[in-house]
Amino acid sequence: MVKIPDKMKAMMLTEYNKLELATVPVPKPGKGEVLCRIRSVALCGSDPKMIEGGYKFANWPPYFPFIMGHEWAGEVVALGEGVEDFKIGDRVAGEAHAGCGVCDNCKRGHYTVCLNYGRDGRDGRLDLGHRHYGFYWQGANAEYNVYKTNSLHLIPDNVSYDAASLCDCAGVAFHGVELAGVTPGGTSVVFGPGAIGLCAMQECKALGSGQVIMIGRGKKLEMAKELGADVCIDFEKEDPVKRVLELTNGVGADEVMECSGAPSSPMQACRLVRKKGAIAIIATYKDDAVLIPANTVNFNEIKIIGSKANPNVSKKVLNMFSTGAVKVEELITHRFPLEEYPRAVEIFEKKLEDSIKVVINP
């Protein structure tokens, strides 16, 4: 029997730009929920922005104090009423989204765009609540947290907690890759060798792309080469559009995964993708107004796809971790205890010490 304490440590966002380590009650699982001991939490690019108030328009967080953290892995330590699909001791990786399960989008499997998003259950309708853990619902920056079972996935035995905490990150990449599609033996281009881009690059190769081209710069571009990118283009040294067209005999790439968030990248993606090609917009942008060449998109029948989060891909991604098709341990450059979370955020946000993925071990 696992001994569960009454109190736990949690890193609280008490107001914008103010973090505080606090002692709070350990939550108790309700119907269809489990209590998990959090072993690993990976920082996401959205975390510093949320701390600084960059998501006020989305009402993230909905109140203070708030526990952030949405890329995580841990261990099931207590079961709520009616839970039969998990047992105490199970090693699990979590998704940030748990859909309401009753709206049209959820019924079709599109639970990251749940029509009941934002109904957090405080109106008494817990059955209609969409939970966005770490954004709109308390997250994983603590020793324990409660989760709906439909947001959890078993971790393969040969995958560590730290690696499994990147399931969300790699899943975000894989959802976009699946939506765009990968042409077996074809050419895939990935913009941005950050953690999501490096995962997308490996996923394209795993799905049979004949040539994967990474566009970026610096140490992360070198990492892309080490992890298997066939061609690396440094955009500070050469024109990515011209180079991709040269590599494809003027035809262009079959598909493009835009993971950089640079405002110029969607325009470039449209210029270097082939006629009838596909572009997945996986990144988010500081300014919502990003230009694309509309006539080129029209005349070449280019498919541009928005991709949000990681629905229905976690099991596939964890299997890729297990087989080595996607290597994520190499992306983890720093590890910190929960008490040093502010320092971890600083290193991650400012890209100090060649950081890529920073993991917290509560």
> What is the tens place of the pLDDT at every residue in 136-186?
999 999 999 999 999 999 999 999 999 999 999 999 999 999 999 999 999
pLDDT digits 0-9 by tens, 25-44: 999 999 999 999 999 999 99
Q: Please state the rounded mean pLDDT for residues 247-261.
A: 98
pLDDT band at 118 (very low <50, low <70, confident <90, very high): confident
The residue among 63, 78, 69 whose CA lies nearest residue 1 is 78
**Secondary structure (DSSP) of 146-206:** EEEGGGEEEPPTTS-HHHHTTHHHHHHHHHHHHHH---BTSEEEEE--SHHHHHHHHHHHH
Residue 119 confidence (pLDDT): 75
- Calpha distance 102→149 (Å, rounded): 16
What's the confidence (pLDDT) of residue 121? Answer: 57
Q: Which domains does the chain have, with CATH numbers?
A: 7-96+133-166+328-361 (3.90.180.10), 171-306 (3.40.50.720)
Peptide bond just before 311 cis, omega within 30 deg: no
The per-residue pLDDT for range 299-341, each reduced to its tens digit, is 999 999 999 999 999 999 999 999 999 999 999 999 999 999 9
Identify residue 184 by its one-letter amino acid code. P
CB atoms within 10 A of CB 210: 15
Q: How does pLDDT run across 43-55, given as a tens digit for each residue?
A: 999 999 999 999 9
What is the rounded distance in angstroms from the CA atom of residue 2 to the CA atom of residue 89?
9
**Residue 332 to residues 166, 168, 173, 343, 358, Cα–Cα distance (Å):** 9, 14, 17, 16, 6
Q: Which of 49, 51, 44 is nearest to 13 (CA)?
A: 51
Q: How far apart are CA 361 and CA 161, in angstroms?
A: 9
Cα separation of 270 and 305, whole Å?
Answer: 12
CB 49 within 8 A of CB 155: no
pLDDT band at 267 (very low <50, low <70, confident <90, very high): very high
Instruction: Read off the pLDDT band of 123 (50, 70, 90).
Output: low
Residue bearing tokens 């609540």: 129
Query: Alpha-carbon distance 130 to 113, whole Å?
Result: 10
What letter would DSSP give residue 32? T
pLDDT of 274 above 90: yes
pLDDT category at 122 given cuts 50, 70, 90 is low
Q: What is the pLDDT of residue 336?
A: 98
Q: What is the pLDDT of residue 128?
A: 64
Q: What is the mean pLDDT of residues 108-116?
A: 94
